[in-house]
Amino acid sequence: MTRKVVEFPPRTTNVSSFERLESNVQSYANNFPDVFEFAEGAEIWANNGKRYLDFLSGAGSLNYGHNPSELKSELLKYIENNNISNSLDLHTKAKKEFLDALDEVVLKPRGLDHVVQFTGPTGANAVEAALKLARRVTDRTNIAAFTNGFHGVTTGALAATGNAYNRGAAGVELNGISRLPYDGYLGGDYNTVDYFEKLLDDPSSGMDLPAAVIFETVQGEGGHKVASDAWLQQLQTLCRKHKILMIADEVQAGCGRTGDFFGFDSSGIAPDIIAVSKSISGYGLPLALCLIKRDLDAWLPGEHNGTFRGNNLAFVTATAALNKFWKSGKFEAEISQRSVLLRQRLTKITEQHRDMISETRGKGMMMGLAFSDPELARRITTHAFQLGLIAERVGPRDEVLKIMAPINVRMDHLDEGLNILEASIEEVISTSPHSKFAD
């Protein structure tokens, strides 16, 4: 295949500012080296005019794409009116409207009698709060977390995170966690909740009774592994029997990513604490919260405090997102239409490349291709970026090419992005020195 080489004008922003002034800790920028300036929906433009399709979606913080217009207009009005921007955790009109919308659109329809804790504005901080509260109300220290789980990189949350690279940066011992095998971890037939049950029933198993289990319904950073509804239900039954709290880390799987508002919706379970962040603002603005079953709200005022608890600009866009997308009950069908197409096309790619791709993974609009060789996945995403598609890699060895288009992505953009992905796969394998496809 020959591809026309497009020349772009020289960059107008000096990339070396980032090299000279920004810490080595930056990461996404290393994989997607351009300077971005405008974005709308799934499209994003660099300052030299190059257009990309963004199937990274702010690592799941832009579920409705960039700058969704209905959210933007509410935000602009709010700013123009001199409404409250920062509020510590004071009551504001924007916060009231958000709480009411969350209650009406999310909590009540699910029968969740949960109160809302506004934590610091990151997913990790919501997880920290959840872990602290679970330990407080049960008077136990141990928390069960799963293999390949990702829960953030501050010390408490990092202890629950599996990734050795992230854990290695802690500098202190990471304590208070028992690691359990996630659904499917020990092979398809092995029921890992049975294993957990065995540990709990054996007074000599060596596992202290956990205060809580923390789990993702689909493991985002862990490689788009999906917990089955049956597994979640069995986990809930076991937890209730042993009075272990369930903490659903919905930071990435939540807000529509899996096809329902929560990743656990299809299972019908009711977690005691639900950590929500990434896409809750709907606009990529920082906001995080814990939903806490009312009778577990044992916090004393200010115990888990922080300056930025509740971002009013994010409340405005979050409220608009709940009202615009989720209120009518029709949005799920829109997501489903896209996820069916996405799954079909990824499955076809997997079938065509069985020697390189072990499976199509994920749920809803949280899908990926699991490559046998992480290096091949790296080369394909790098090449896709050159061709105009932004997509990242996840999984224990970064072997899963992750497709995270906006959940309401325009169908033509979804098609176009997947065409680029296919072209990238073909071009990379045709130039691979070890490929049997090589000339």
Ligand X SMILES: *Cc1c(COP(=O)(O)O)cnc(C)c1O
The least CB distance from residue 251 to ligand X, in Å, is 4
Look up residue 121 and give its amino acid. Answer: P
Looking at the Cβ atoms of 183 and 216, the one nearer to ligand X is 216
Q: Tell me the per-residue interface mask from 195 to 234 with ligand X, x by CB under 6 A, - otherwise.
A: ---------------------x---xx-------------
152 near ligand X (CB under 6 A): yes
Residues 274-333 that bind ligand X (CB under 6 A): 277
Looking at the Cβ atoms of 102 and 290, the one nearer to ligand X is 290
The least CB distance from residue 420 to ligand X, in Å, is 25
Residues 6 or more apart in contact with residue 354 via CB below 8 angstroms: none
Size of interface with ligand X, in residues (CB under 6 A): 14
d(CA 197, CA 201): 6
The residue from 140, 151, 402, 413 that contacts ligand X (CB under 6 A) is 151
Looking at the Cβ atoms of 74 and 272, the one nearer to ligand X is 272
Looking at the Cβ atoms of 149 and 176, the one nearer to ligand X is 149
Q: Which residue is nearest to ligand X (CB)?
A: 123
362 and 218 Cβ atoms separated by less than 8 Å = yes
The least CB distance from residue 223 to ligand X, in Å, is 12
Q: Label each residue of the chain as H, E or C.
A: CCCCCCCCCCCCCCCHHHHHHCCCCCCHHHHCCCCEEEEEECEEEECCCCEEEECCHHHHCCCCCECCHHHHHHHHHHHHCCCCCCCCCCCCHHHHHHHHHHHHHHHHHHCCCEEEEECCCCHHHHHHHHHHHHHHHHCCCCEEEECCCCCCCCHHHHHHCCCHHHHCCCCCCCCCEEEECCCCCCCCCCCHHHHHHHHHHCCCCCCCCCCEEEECCEECCCCCEECCHHHHHHHHHHHHHCCCEEEEECCCCCCCCCCCCCCCHHHCCCCCEEEECCCCCCCCCCCCEEEEEHHHCCCCCCCCCCCCCCCHHHHHHHHHHHHHHHCCCCHHHHHHHHHHHHHHHHHHHHHHCCCCEEEEEEECCEEEEEECCHHHHHHHHHHHHHHCEECEEECCCCCEEEECCCCCCCHHHHHHHHHHHHHHHHHHHHHCCCCCCCC
Neighbours of 387 (CB within 10 A): 15
The least CB distance from residue 149 to ligand X, in Å, is 8
The residue from 44, 71, 106, 127 that contacts ligand X (CB under 6 A) is 127
Q: Which stretch binds ligand X (CB under 6 A): 25-33, 244-252, 343-351, 375-383?
A: 244-252
The residue from 105, 124, 365, 376 that contacts ligand X (CB under 6 A) is 124
Q: Tell me the per-residue interface mask from 245 to 284 with ligand X, x by CB under 6 A, - otherwise.
A: ----x-xx------------------------x-------
Looking at the Cβ atoms of 124 and 285, the one nearer to ligand X is 124
The least CB distance from residue 233 to ligand X, in Å, is 20
The least CB distance from residue 229 to ligand X, in Å, is 19
Looking at the Cβ atoms of 124 and 349, the one nearer to ligand X is 124
The least CB distance from residue 258 to ligand X, in Å, is 12
The least CB distance from residue 413 to ligand X, in Å, is 24
The least CB distance from residue 298 to ligand X, in Å, is 23
The least CB distance from residue 219 to ligand X, in Å, is 8
Looking at the Cβ atoms of 399 and 427, the one nearer to ligand X is 399
Q: Which stretch binds ligand X (CB under 6 A): 74-82, 145-153, 301-309, 427-435?
A: 145-153
Looking at the Cβ atoms of 216 and 427, the one nearer to ligand X is 216
Angle at 308 between CA 280 and CA 113, to 5 degrees: 50
Name the residues that contact ligand X, by CB under 6 A. Answer: 122-124, 127, 150-152, 216, 220-221, 249, 251-252, 277
